[in-house]
Amino acid sequence: MADPHPHVYFRDRLVPAHEATLGVATSAVLYGLSVYTVFPVHVDDGVRSAFRLRDHYRRLVESCRIIGIDRFADEWSFDRFVAVAGELVAANAPTSDVFVRATVHVDESIPGTRVRGCGTVVSMFVYDAVPIVPQDGMRLGTSTWRRIPDYAIPSRAKVNGAYVNSVLAKQGAIDAGYDDAVFLDGAGHVCELSAANIFVVRGGTLITPDVSCDILDGINRRTVLTLAAEEGIRVEERTVDLTELYIADEVFATGTSAGVAPVVEVDGRTVGEGVPGPVCEVLRKRHAAALRSDDGRGWVSYL
């Protein structure tokens, strides 16, 4: 991730980035007890448009509820969230696209691992929108690390501590010469990448693991499912076998920081023709357009 831009929102105000620090004895630091989201802001000639901000806010509220961080929803309305995001982005005045990472940290040094009733602090910072995976055809390797099951750390909650699992998979993939990892669940079914959802195209049908497959309920996953339906593409959300990736016509990934990213190789096997496929290309263009203009859907908020 790129460095934060100079102004960071922390403890109810904008501060220089180096002043936005948490204590070493807080639960956020000790246990990774924070929840977060990252949303994109498209910058075009001074116009700043955030994508699906309400959905990002809602997922943050839901992450808090699942984990038991009980104060955030009371203290942070959607209007407050938007106002702070707007103030932060305006203060940094980015000249090109950025990502904004909003985090709710458990900011209390408590004996034992508890969460209910603990104090929280919200941070928000802006950084350059650099994709985390190649955009012209990436190579994936199946991870030997399995995706944390929902019954251990809930997949719907975007919890900082759970990302150790992603780091293990991503580092393993890089060490083995791949761009990213395919996470399987305990039964060997496909879940997602280290920080992106996965889609497969077979015989014209777009297939993706359903939300009960230990995946993050990705906002761009939902976006692509909507856009695919609008394009008249048949969609299936279901269990996906690893071997389906090997015989797919196309594979691609979605995410805020991944975009809609084509996959050209999985475990040394060429996907389709070994180049980005037509379904991915159509959805990639539709997704890029949706990030920039609203089309009456309410997906874009101007900051």
Q: Contact positions toward ligand PMP, by CB under 6 A? A: 38, 166, 192, 195-197, 216, 218-221, 254-256
At closest approach, how far in Å is the CB of 119 from ligand PMP?
26
Task: List Cα–Cα distances, 49 to 39, 81, 85, 103, 293, in angstroms.
Answer: 10, 15, 11, 20, 8
Nearer Cβ to ligand PMP, position 35 or 196? 196
Smallest separation, CB 249 to ligand PMP (Å):
22
Q: Encode 172-208: b = buried (16+ Cβ within 10 Å), e = exposed.
A: bbeeeebbbbbbbbeeebbbbbbbbbbbbbbeeebbb
- CA atoms of 130 and 99, how far apart (whole Å): 8
Q: How far is the CB of 221 from ligand PMP (least distance, A)?
A: 6
Largest CA distance in the chain: 56
**Distance in angstroms (rounded) separating the CA atoms of residues 298 and 52:** 8
Give 7 or 147: the residue with its C-beta nearer to ligand PMP.
147
* Closest distance of CB 2 from ligand PMP, Å: 16
Q: Which of 248, 293, 303 is nearest to 272 (CA)?
A: 248
Q: Which is nearer to ligand PMP, 216 or 290 (CB)?
A: 216
Give dist(CA 268, CA 178) in Å, integer.
9
Alpha helices, DSSP H, located in the chain: 27-31, 53-67, 72-75, 78-92, 163-175, 219-230, 242-246, 278-292
Residue 6 or 32: the one with the smaller Cβ distance to ligand PMP is 32
Backbone angles phi and psi of 64, in degrees to 5: -60, -45
Strands 98-106 and 120-128 turn out to be antiparallel
CB of 13 to ligand PMP, least distance (A): 27
Output 6 or 154, the one with its CB closest to ligand PMP.
154
Strands 7-10 and 120-128: antiparallel
Cβ nearer to ligand PMP, comparing 11 with 285: 285
Report strand pairing: 234-237 vs 205-208: parallel
Are 235 and 265 a contacting pair, CB within 8 Å? no
Q: How far is the CB of 124 from ligand PMP (least distance, A)?
A: 16
- Report, in Å, the least distance between residue 192 CB and ligand PMP: 5
Here the tokens at position 39 are 């949303």
Q: Between 35 and 271, name the residue whose CB sits nearer to ligand PMP.
A: 35
**How far is it, in rounded angstroms, from Cα 255 to Cα 224?**
10
Shortest spacing between CB 61 and ligand PMP, in angstroms: 14
Task: Compare residues 120 and 254 and give the one whose CB is closer to ligand PMP.
Answer: 254
